[in-house]
Structures are given as C-alpha cells and as structure tokens.
Amino acid sequence: MKLSQFKFKLPEEKIALHPTKYRDESRLLVLHRKTGEIEHKMFKDVLDYFDDKDVFIFN
C-alpha cells in the first residue's frame, strides 16, 4: 500500500468541529472484511460487532 492511495478531497463543511451532544449518536462505519459489505450504523451499536471474549478498550 502507498500513502498516496489514501488522498482524497473532503469538503470543509463535512469536518466535525464539535462532538455530537450524545456521544453514542456518532456515526460508525462497519466493514465486513469477508464480504466487503459496508454498513452505516450508530456508535451505540458497536458492541453488536464484538464476541464475548473480545476486549474493547476506551480511551
């Protein structure tokens, strides 16, 4: 992979300047690696993508 593959134009109005009032309402992009399917979800759904033995670390 080359860094140049990750260059794209992002309109300034699409850049969040402040977090959402309720953090769990942030958007979440989910990529299913095996199928290539992409889902647009809310962050509050993030635990749906983890198994019982997974570790999730918040910073």
Residue 4 lies in a domain: no
Would 38 be classed as within a structural domain?
yes
Q: Residue 10 falls within a domain, yes or no? A: no
Predicted local distance difference test score (pLDDT) of residue 6: 83
Domain count, the chain: 1
**Predicted confidence (pLDDT) at residue 3 exceeds the cutoff of 90:** no
Q: Which domain holds residue 32?
A: 22-51
Residue 9 lies in a domain: no
Residue 39: inside a domain: yes
Structural domain includes residue 37: yes
pLDDT tens digits for range 7-58: 888 899 988 898 888 988 899 999 999 999 999 999 999 999 999 999 988 7
Q: Can you tell me whether residue 31 is helix, strand or coil? A: strand
pTM (two decimals): 0.60
pLDDT at 7: 84
Residue 27 and residue 42 in contact, taking contact as beta carbons nearer than 8 Å: yes
